[in-house]
Structure 1
Amino acid sequence: VYQAANKQVAEDALLDLEEKWGKQYPVVIASWQNNWEKLSEYFKYDQGIRKIIYTTAAAAANAVEGYHRQVRKVTKTKGVFPSDMALLKLIYLASKNISKKWVQPMQNWGQILQQLAIHFEGRVPLGLW
């Protein structure tokens, strides 16, 4: 629903969601429908801004799980570690690689920042970026 191209496509996806899961999760679907005007507000923004909103919320909710998944990806291919220290070193190196992603700039950040400055005129200090 959130990754739809526009609000109309998202509304269609919400109807599909209700059709598929409505009987199993009626409270969840009702919550979406009752709060749709608030939930769909972000469709007024361009795709770049919507991606920031969507991925920031997901990243905040899943930061620990994401880190764990990345470490597990590195360690699951190894059958046995010769020592605990070998495992710790591998996790340390994986952590260093994972942390590089935390500081990488957002793709197309300059363009997104300009869009934010238009939507929130006077509230985005462009000189700081």
Structure 2
Amino acid sequence: MRLAEFDEKWGKRYPSIAGTWERAWSELVPFLGLPDAIRQVVYTTNAIESLNARYRRAAQACGHFPNEQAALKRLYLATLALDPTGRGRQRWNNRWKSALNEFDVLFDGRLTAGRV
């Protein structure tokens, strides 16, 4: 019903959105049923794509590498440049802590099953 309301209001301006949601409805609905903490980190997390894009830019900026070690060093330096202050891990932990707790509850302790 809400999707129909959205399509009625915004369908003329953004015609592909409602159609895309209708085609992917079976994947979208379970996602909406997850707790807010999980949804927040899942839909905002594209860290792998971001890292790959940074690696591509770093490699293209050099053009070519004389050997494999030079290429690996360039990727290492690109990785270090992502978090120059070293506080990124703390930000990651703060953002994921509540989501990890929700995952543990939702999946009946499977995340902490092997911990002592």
TM-score, length-scaled by structure 2: 0.52
Alignment CA distance shift 1:116-1:95 (3 Å): closer
Is contact 2:11–2:18 with CA below 8 Å preserved after alignment? yes
The equivalent of 1:19 in structure 2 is 12
Match of 1:42 in 2: 31
List 4+ stretches of structure 1 deviating above 6 A.
Answer: none
Answer yes or no: is 1:98 the counterpart of 2:82.
Answer: yes
Query: Is residue 125 from structure 1 mapped to residue 112 from structure 2 by the alignment?
Result: yes
Q: Does 1:55 align with 2:44?
A: yes
Task: Decide whether aligned partners of structure 1 residues 101 and 12 sit closer, same or farther in structure 2, where only a CA change above 3 A counts.
Answer: farther
Equivalent position amino acid for 1:63 in 2? L
1:117–1:126 CA contact under 8 A, matched in 2: no
Cα pair 2:31 2:39 within 8 Å, conserved: yes
Q: In structure 1, list runs of 5 or more residues that go unmatched.
A: 1-7, 72-91
> Given that residues 49 and 116 in structure 1 are in contact (C-alpha distance below 8 angstroms), is that contact kept between their aligned partners in structure 2?
yes
RMSD: 4.1
Distance in 2 between residues matched to 1:37 and 1:101, nearest whole Å:
38
User: Post-superposition shift, 1:117?
Assistant: 1.4
Distance in 2 separating the partners of 1:12 and 1:125: 42
Matched, 1:64 2:57: no
Higher RCO (C-alpha under 8 Å, 6+ residues apart): 2
CA distance in 2 between counterparts of 1:13 and 1:103 reads 41
- CA contact under 8 A between 1:117 and 1:123: conserved in structure 2? yes
What TM-score do the two structures reach when normalised by structure 1?
A: 0.48
Unmatched tracts of structure 2, length 5 or more: 59-76
